[in-house]
Amino acid sequence: MNQRYFREWTVAGAFGLLMLSLLIFAPHFFQGQPLLSRVTSQMPALLAAIGITLVIVSRQIDISVGAQFSLCAVIAGLTASAGLPLGVAIGAAVGAGALMGALNGWLVAYLGLPSIVVTLATMVTWQEALRLWQQGRLIGLPDGVQWFGLGQASGQMLVIGFTAGVLIFSAWGMRNLAAGRFVYATGTDAEAARLAGIDPKRTTFGVFVLMGVLAGLAAVLNLVQSAQIQPNSGDGLELKIIAAAVVGGVAIQGGRGTLWGVLPGMLLLANVNPALTHFHQPPYWEKAIQGMVILLAVVADGLRTRKSSN
Binding flag, residue 226, another protein (CB under 8 A): yes
Which residue number, 33 or 176, has a Cβ lying nearer to another protein? 33
Task: Tell whether residue 24 is a contact of another protein (CB under 8 A).
Answer: no
Question: Should residue 140 be labelled a site residue for another protein when binding is judged by CB under 8 A?
Answer: yes
Does position 138 interact with another protein (CB under 8 A)? The reply is yes
Please tell me what DSSP assigns to residue 108: I
Question: Of the listed pieces 102-110, 113-121, 220-228, 290-298, which binds another protein according to CB under 8 A?
Answer: 220-228
Dihedral sign for Cα atoms in the order 141, 146, 151, 153 = negative
Asked if 135 touches another protein (CB under 8 A), the answer is: yes
The three-class DSSP label of residue 64 is: coil
Task: Please report, as residue ranges, which positions from 30 to 69 form the binding site for another protein (by CB under 8 A).
Answer: 31, 33-35, 37-38, 41
Helix, strand, coil share (%) of the chain residues, nearest 5? 75, 0, 20
What residues have CB less than 8 Å from 281, skipping those under 6 apart? none
Whether 123 and 100 have beta carbons less than 8 Å apart is answered as no
Of 93, 14, 110, 59, which Cα lies nearest the Cα of 252? 59
154 sits near another protein (criterion: CB under 8 A): no
Backbone angles phi, psi at 140, to 5 degrees: -75, 135
Contact assessment for residue 70 and residue 233, using Cβ atoms and an 8 Å cutoff: yes
Q: Considering only residues 269-308, where is the footprint of another protein by CB under 8 A?
A: 273-274, 277-278, 280, 283-284
Name the minimum Å distance from CB 106 to another protein: 31
Return the range that interacts with another protein (CB under 8 A); candidates 75-83, 87-95, 221-229, 296-304.
Answer: 221-229
Contact pick of 113, 142, 235, 252 for another protein (by CB under 8 A)? 235
Q: Is 228 in the site for another protein (CB under 8 A)?
A: yes
Distance CA 108, CA 204 (A): 8
The CA-based dihedral angle spanning residues 237, 242, 247, 251, taken in that order and rounded to the nearest 10 degrees: 170
How many angstroms separate the CA atoms of 36 and 31, rounded?
9
Query: Is 125 near another protein (CB under 8 A)?
Result: no
Q: Please, what is the minimum distance in Å from the beta carbon of residue 8 to another protein?
A: 26
Binding site for another protein (CB under 8 A): 26, 28-29, 31, 33-35, 37-38, 41, 132, 135, 138, 140, 152, 222, 225-228, 230, 232-233, 235-236, 273-274, 277-278, 280, 283-284
